[in-house]
Amino acid sequence: MVWIVFDARKVRDYGVGTHIQGLLPALVRQAPPSFQWLVLASLEAQPWLTSLLADTGPKVRMEWTRARPFEWRTHVEIPWRVRRRVRGPCVFHAPYFPVPMGLRCPTVLTLHDAILLQAWPRRAGLWVARLARWLIGWSAERSACVVTVSQTAARQILHYFPWLADKIHVIPNGIHPAFRTPVGTDEVERQCRTLGLTPGEYILYVGNDKPHKNLHRLIGVCVDLWRQQFLTHRLVLAGMPEAAWRRTVRRYYAWTQQGWVRWLPYCDVETLRAVYSGAAALVQPSLDEGFGLPVAEAMAVGTPVVCSRTGALPEVAGDAAVYFDPTDSAEMAQAIRQVLTDEDLRSVCRERGRQRACRFRWEEAADRFLQLYDQLLTPLGRPA
């Protein structure tokens, strides 16, 4: 019997949380019977994980902790809990940094991008970048292997840490199976109406308002198009915390009060699928991305994608999207208008997007991670 200790404390977060929610159940389902799982999670996440791992049986044990990832308690409490609960060979799976100190087993660390390593134009930006470089470098050095989610992210990480070349692996993210399940027009209209949306009359943005997301440039472009009456679609923002929405309201008060910019609170997968399906297009204007899950999800649903040609977005979308320079407002506006007015182009984007989205499956990602576990466990006594 061997153990996999999976750190799921950020399961409720955006981004990393989506990664954990998709990967962890697939890993448990596909793992050999000899694998036992110890899942570390916060008490607040208990309902989420209980539902997520409902059918996994006795091979999964939950360990509830109050230690937060960036607190000093992580480096004391987490190794103590692992030593107390695990007997035999084990691998620690860290789907984010920092890796807890004092672990006595090999670690698989996932770095989702290199964005924190760059000094973005924000308060304390350079300080944050320097701290992130130290923490990420420290965590990577202590890990047996490092996984990232795209070739683009791997190149960026190796730019800062070239010594990781021998132990970095690329395992793309997957997409929740619900996004591949066809949803009827009536159901889309019903769910959109419940949210106060009219299908086909809005463009969608999914993400937060961090500087690299470039959201304010997108809103500025839409405001210019509305003023010139070149755009009649509303802009709907999803996947954003309430605090980020409040900042957006303060900056674009008139446009939010008139309903031109809308915010959707947290949506479950089925609701988000309907929101994607009802959108005239997804617009992702990021200055950088390690992967770009909203692009992959929109393609799976069949929603046309308009996105920047930077970061990993072209790697994910391929020939299924219309691209623009995220620093050029005029080019962004032109790309949005082109997709909204050219029905032939929209049809091509839908067809190519569905085909391309088939590449991204959590089952395939889980298989790759299980192979890494095997490589690390064999020297510890697990038969090859």
User: pLDDT digits over 109-124, tens only?
Assistant: 999 999 888 755 555 5
Question: How much is the pLDDT for 55?
Answer: 75
Contact in structure between 307 and 321 (CB atoms under 8 Å): yes
- Residue 306 CA to residue 290 CA, distance in Å, equals 17
214: alpha, beta or left? (left if phi > 0; alpha if psi -120 to 50) = left
Distances (CA, A) of 73 to 96, 138, 150: 16, 17, 32
Write down the CATH superfamily of domain 2-174+361-380: Glycogen Phosphorylase B; (3.40.50.2000)
Threshold 0.85, pTM exceeds: yes
Beta strands in 23-180 (DSSP E): 35-42, 60-65, 90-94, 107-110, 145-148, 168-170
- Residue 25 CA to residue 363 CA, distance in Å, equals 9
Type and span of the H or E element at 320 = none
Question: How much is the pLDDT for 268?
Answer: 87
Residue where the block lists tokens 């109050």: 66
14: alpha, beta or left? (left if phi > 0; alpha if psi -120 to 50) = beta
Beta strands in 85-189 (DSSP E): 90-94, 107-110, 145-148, 168-170
Same topology for domains 2-174+361-380 and 177-357, yes or no?
yes
Residues of the chain with pLDDT under 50: 384
- Residue 343 CA to residue 306 CA, distance in Å, equals 14
Q: Under DSSP, is residue 74 helix (H, G, I), strand (E, B) or coil?
A: helix
Question: How much is the pLDDT for 384?
Answer: 45
232: its two tokens: 């009649």
CA angle at 288 for the pair 41 and 306, rounded to the nearest 5°:
105
Question: How much is the pLDDT for 380?
Answer: 59
Greatest CA span in the chain, whole angstroms?
A: 69
> Which one-letter DSSP state was computed for residue 120?
-
User: pLDDT digits over 281-323, tens only?
Assistant: 999 999 999 999 999 999 999 999 999 999 999 999 999 999 9
Q: Identify the CATH number of the domain defined by range 177-357.
A: 3.40.50.2000
* Domain assignments of the chain as residue spans, ordered by start: 2-174+361-380, 177-357
